[in-house]
Chain A
């Protein structure tokens, strides 16, 4: 299976396609992520978001893309009662929790054209697959206790297209916790779309058991969480799959 990897957004993306892709298409694909990164990264002093953070630029006057991403992030904050938030504790707007998913969404439309037979996109541990594919993809989930090993693997089958994992392990406190208890060290969400999966994984990691129950009640998602002591929780469908695959 052709695999293409490239660095973007401070991490690495890898793409699997059923058939070979043309390099020109891959350039175009990379440019999607580059564009999002150049606009939204707080690590880039010249990005639009950095300029907003430095008050050199007004959010109200920002480009349509920034406003749309911010609006979507705020909507998710409201839906998750603040467990997911686009604001850092110091008040700076930080859209990194949603930008990766948004850029993966945009890349998906390109990938559909590039490789209509099916594809699998992994950007720094968040996964999105083509809307249709012949055989389900096997997705491994990292064991937070031993990051070179797998906790388990799940089958990604339509209509479930996206897997996102949030954890406290790798990037430190990248998730802003709302309650100090910290029920979970890692949360994996399987959903129909990558934005839902990514945002809810972040929200559940931050909001703990209460957010987990609310999210599984409100959304067609599957979740597997790892707690402080390594204990696992999982939704019923996933339980049967996990035990069988």
Chain B
């Protein structure tokens, strides 16, 4: 819809070029403004994270002041309480990061939020473990008993305390399975189910925090803050992970219309639904899809739009990677489809520079295809490099070629295998001929570089772009695990 045909290069050529310049200027300014506001939001997010941890420490200090730090037992106990508060705060932060809140997705992207979520996992667990261990030791010192007697006396404090131990056990289980899954010894779906237990773990830990600790005693501001924190974290999960997707799914009533194989192992799925513009999808975004046939409903698939949705149809393009995707290719027309999303900042809106450089490999071409379609491109603004091992990987290339033609963009292809024993994103042939990112993208230093392809390949391009001195905010990347 945005592909205006190439400007006629007849009499008023001069006027049109000044007009183009003005458009560029306006677009560049707007991008700079968008970038600054995103950067500010990202900063604010980081500050909020740190401050929330600081607040959890302050909660304790406001309660006890320095009074606890005088004898060894009191000191250990104090540190134990603080680690408990800070650890719980981190877990709540992790929930917020995983809640797919639109503000977070627009600002840093869901993948970076999840990366941070993962990084917080172990510190949170260690803090909570330290909380249990230190409090047991601290109290046993103060009481002059031993650790075991103290633990038994803890159990005597009632059901809240026992629930606290249950929460601790669940947490250990969740983190251990996460670590194992990352090392790929564990089925993803099973892990995900166990992962949901972390919600339970944080919830069952709440009673002992409120009833036993003095920090959050009834009638204190601390208690109000703490409960608000819980409400915010679980509320954002409920709203953005469950309510919003449900509403969207039933509002748009998506069904599979047609599945077409476009290359061996690669197929396009056309969905139809109603009022799809309200999704507000941008080219380059993805959504998490669930296809409700009895063999596929339990597996959610993150898949990029491979074309801009119209009001009635959506197109997705998928490469078969495992049994899950193979089953999708056999779905019947009419299968109900649920949607979570759209998500992602691999979009034209995220650009900050006057030119656009695009590089895609294999099936990574799909979000690129939609992004280019969505972008308002001046003639010559974009340069596109499509990378494949051979001609059989040239998925959707003719469509990209069409867009390139319509916007006078330069589109190149680089076919051929990577050289052996050498890590590079280029083909052996291109490498031998001294090709660089700069020689491919003449405006590289005035452009945003959009990279989409398999993880290892994409990382090579990113490293190369950094080498070339491209600033981090101009490198946009979408990785496909294959």
CA distance A31 to B440 in the complex (A): 13
Secondary structure class of chain B's binding surface, majority of residues? loop
Q: A113-B469, A114-B467 are in contact. Are A23 and B422 (CB under 8 A)?
A: yes
Residue A110 CB within 8 A of the other chain: yes
Contacts of A31 in B (CB 8 A): 434, 436, 438-439
CA distance A64 to B464 in the complex (A): 27
CA distance A34 to B434 in the complex (A): 11
Q: Are A22 and B460 in contact (CB under 8 A)?
A: yes
Give the nearest-CB partner of B464 in chain A. Answer: A24
Q: Chain B: how many interface residues by the 8 Å CB criterion?
A: 20
Q: How large is the interface on A (under 10, 10 to 19, 20 to 34, 35 or more residues)?
A: 10 to 19
Contacts of B419 in A (CB 8 A): 23
CA distance A28 to B466 in the complex (A): 12
Contacts of B435 in A (CB 8 A): 27
Secondary structure class of chain A's binding surface, majority of residues? helix
Q: Are A24 and B437 in contact (CB under 8 A)?
A: yes
Q: Are B467 and A24 in contact (CB under 8 A)?
A: yes
Residue A25 CB within 8 A of the other chain: yes
Chain B contacts with A in 421-473, Cβ cutoff 8 A: 422-426, 431, 434-439, 460, 463-464, 466-469
Q: A24-B431, A24-B460 are in contact. Are A113 and B466 (CB under 8 A)?
A: yes
Residue A122 CB within 8 A of the other chain: no
Distance in angstroms from B470 CB to nearest chain A CB is 11
Q: Which 6 residue pairs spanning A and B have beta carbons closest together?
A: A24-B464, A28-B436, A25-B467, A23-B424, A27-B436, A24-B424
Contacts of B464 in A (CB 8 A): 22, 24-25, 28
- Residue among A24, A25, A28, A113 with the most chain B CB within 10 A? A24
Contacts of A24 in B (CB 8 A): 424-426, 431, 436-437, 460, 463-464, 467
Contacts of A25 in B (CB 8 A): 464, 467
Residue A30 CB within 8 A of the other chain: yes
Chain B contacts with A in 308-329, Cβ cutoff 8 A: none
Distance in angstroms from A36 CB to nearest chain B CB is 15
- Residue among A25, A30, A114 with the most chain B CB within 10 A? A25
- Chain A positions 1 through 43: 1 when the CB is less than 8 Å from some CB of chain B, otherwise 0: 0000000000000000000001111011011001000000000
| Cross-chain pairs A/B with CB under 8 angstroms, 5 sampled | A22-B463, A23-B423, A24-B425, A28-B436, A114-B467
Contacts of B438 in A (CB 8 A): 28, 31
Contacts of A28 in B (CB 8 A): 436-438, 464, 467-468
- Chain A positions 65 through 93: 1 when the CB is less than 8 Å from some CB of chain B, otherwise 0: 00000000000000000000000000000
Q: Are A23 and B466 in contact (CB under 8 A)?
A: no
Distance in angstroms from B438 CB to nearest chain A CB is 7
Distance in angstroms from A148 CB to nearest chain B CB is 32
Residue in contact with B467 in the complex, picked from A30, A34, A113, CB distance below 8 Å: A113
Distance in angstroms from B427 CB to nearest chain A CB is 12
Give the nearest-CB partner of B439 in chain A. Answer: A31
Distance in angstroms from B450 CB to nearest chain A CB is 18
CA distance A110 to B470 in the complex (A): 12
Contacts of B434 in A (CB 8 A): 27, 30-31, 34
CA distance A110 to B422 in the complex (A): 20
CA distance A30 to B432 in the complex (A): 12
Give the nearest-CB partner of B461 in chain A. Answer: A24
Distance in angstroms from B157 CB to nearest chain A CB is 54
| 4 other A-B residue contacts (CB within 8 Å) besides A24-B467, A27-B436 | A22-B424, A23-B431, A27-B435, A110-B467
CA distance A24 to B463 in the complex (A): 9
Distance in angstroms from B467 CB to nearest chain A CB is 5
CA distance A214 to B466 in the complex (A): 43
Contacts of A23 in B (CB 8 A): 419, 422-424, 426, 431
- Chain B positions 397 through 437: 1 when the CB is less than 8 Å from some CB of chain A, otherwise 0: 00000000000000000000001001111100001001111
